[in-house]
């Protein structure tokens, strides 16, 4: 079963490096910095207030070099005895450090078992790397088989048992191999509207997020189908939230509930799109590349219409444009 990552991925990586220093564990530390820089995550900076002035606290190493300080979490700051901290984005703080004269670099989590110092030269390299590979939010369309996509994660429209089925579920299990079913067995099912994660095994995608869409009730007394609507929206949101926990930056969705579960395609597409755009707008700097996978021309045309409407709003439905504003737009792929 997949281990959930420690949210403090820098401290985690530093700890692994401290316990077993090697090029490999050091690379993991630098990767953790890169990921958090690209996700626009924040660092806690200890400061002192004196005579109405706020100054950065510094430390000196055994070679009399001065380092400013950064903490990866409130827990780390408190453990080191620093109560007054301000927070800044990692990229902004590291860029600022380069400008401070007489400062050799940054000391991360002093007070922890393995404090970690980064010299200015390395800070320069980290900044250059993060600029090269900046993640951006985007939405794209892909017509074809989801199991062929080389993305961080594909989403499976599964059933509550998570033990395999037909449609896209069957295709994903067939392509991933039997290890996927073995891992799914441990998960003990999944409620409708929620999501669970596994490895991707033989798939080109590293992970599979399994979500369970609602069965569309054609005999419902509610003309708005509120329950199905809420549950379907929740599928998209739960997948995106879970992906974020795993620092996943590219995710492909099939048309959840639009096959055996009978959800009308155009209704489901609007829900998929609105929920995704809302999430992207709530996470403007995270950098999530969302691909909607359409298995046939019909689905592709419906998605294309909805996206075109969002880009060229109908005055009678201005909500779409508002939701789409502020987001990097992906291109449609054929
Ligand atoms: P559900 O039970 O949630 O309705 P289905 O698997 O029956 O799930 O259908 C969901 C959608 O997945 C349908 O639009 C179907 O056309 C599509 N689909 C089926 N196989 C694939 C595949 N290999 N890649 C992408 N989409 C697929």
Q: Convert the pLDDT of each residue in 244-284 to its tens digit.
A: 999 999 999 999 999 999 999 999 999 999 999 999 999 98
Contacts for 143 with CB less than 8 Å, ≥ 6 apart? 293, 294, 295, 296, 297, 299, 300, 333, 334
Q: How many residues are recorded in the chain?
A: 334
What average pLDDT score do residues 273-300 get?
94
CA of 298 to the centre of ligand 1 (A): 13
**The dihedral of CA 96, 98, 102, 104: what is its sign?**
positive
- The region, left, alpha or beta by phi > 0 then psi within -120 to 50, assigned to residue 185 is alpha
Closest CA to 39 of 275, 239, 288: 288
Mean pLDDT of 77-81: 94
Rounded distance from Cα 188 to ligand 1 centre (Å) = 22
pLDDT (tens digit per residue) in 125-138: 999 988 877 778 99
> Which residues fall within 8 angstroms of residue 62, CB to CB, at 6 or more apart?
none
Provide the whole-model pTM: 0.88
DSSP 192: T
Q: Measure the CA–CA gap between 158 and 141, rounded to whole angstroms.
A: 21
- Residue matched to tokens 């798939």: 203
Kindly report the protein residue whose alpha carbon is nearest to atom 7 of ligand 1.
259
pLDDT digits (tens, 9 = 90+) for 91-143: 999 999 999 999 999 999 999 999 999 999 999 999 998 887 777 899 999 99
Which of 157, 163, 176, 217 for a ligand 1 pocket mutation test, highest count of atoms within 8 Å of Cβ? 157
pLDDT value at residue 321: 46
Q: What are 145-194's pLDDT values in tens digits?
A: 999 999 999 999 999 999 989 999 999 999 999 999 999 999 999 999 99
Give the position of tokens 């054609």. 218
pLDDT above 90 for 325: no
């Amino acid at each position: 079963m997949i281990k959930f990552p420690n949210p403090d991925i820098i401290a985690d990586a530093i700890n692994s490096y401290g316990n077993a220093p090697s090029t490999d564990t050091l690379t993991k530390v630098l990767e953790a910095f890169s990921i958090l820089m690209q996700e626009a995550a924040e660092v806690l900076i200890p400061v002192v207030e004196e005579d109405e002035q706020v100054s950065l606290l510094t430390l000196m190493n055994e070679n009399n070099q001065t380092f400013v300080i950064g903490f990866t979490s409130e827990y780390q700051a408190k453990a080191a005895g620093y109560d007054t901290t301000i927070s800044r984005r990692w990229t902004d703080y590291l860029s600022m450090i380069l400008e401070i004269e007489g400062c050799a670099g940054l000391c991360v989590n002093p007070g922890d078992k393995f404090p970690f110092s980064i010299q200015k030269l390395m800070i320069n390299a980290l900044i250059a790397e993060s600029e090269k590979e900046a993640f951006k939010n985007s939405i794209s369309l892909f017509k074809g088989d989801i199991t062929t996509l080389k993305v961080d994660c594909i989403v499976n429209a599964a059933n509550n048992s998570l033990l395999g089925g037909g449609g896209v579920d069957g295709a994903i299990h067939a392509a991933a191999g039997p290890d996927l079913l073995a891992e799914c067995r441990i998960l003990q099912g999944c409620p409708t509207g929620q999501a669970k994660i596994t490895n991707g095994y033989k798939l080109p995608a590293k992970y599979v997020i399994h979500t369970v869409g609602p069965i569309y009730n054609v005999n419902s007394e509610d003309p708005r189908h509120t329950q199905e609507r809420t549950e379907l929206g929740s599928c998209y949101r739960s997948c995106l939230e879970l992906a974020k926990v795993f620092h996943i930056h590219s995710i492909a969705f099939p048309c959840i509930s639009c096959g055996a579960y009978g959800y009308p395609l155009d209704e489901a597409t609007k829900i998929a799109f609105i929920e995704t755009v809302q999430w992207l707008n709530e996470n403007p700097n995270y950098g999530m590349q969302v691909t909607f996978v359409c298995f046939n021309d019909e689905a592709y045309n419906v998605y294309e219409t909805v996206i075109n409407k969002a880009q060229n709003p109908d005055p009678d439905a201005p909500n779409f444009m508002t939701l789409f504003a502020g987001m990097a737009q992906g291109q449609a792929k054929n």
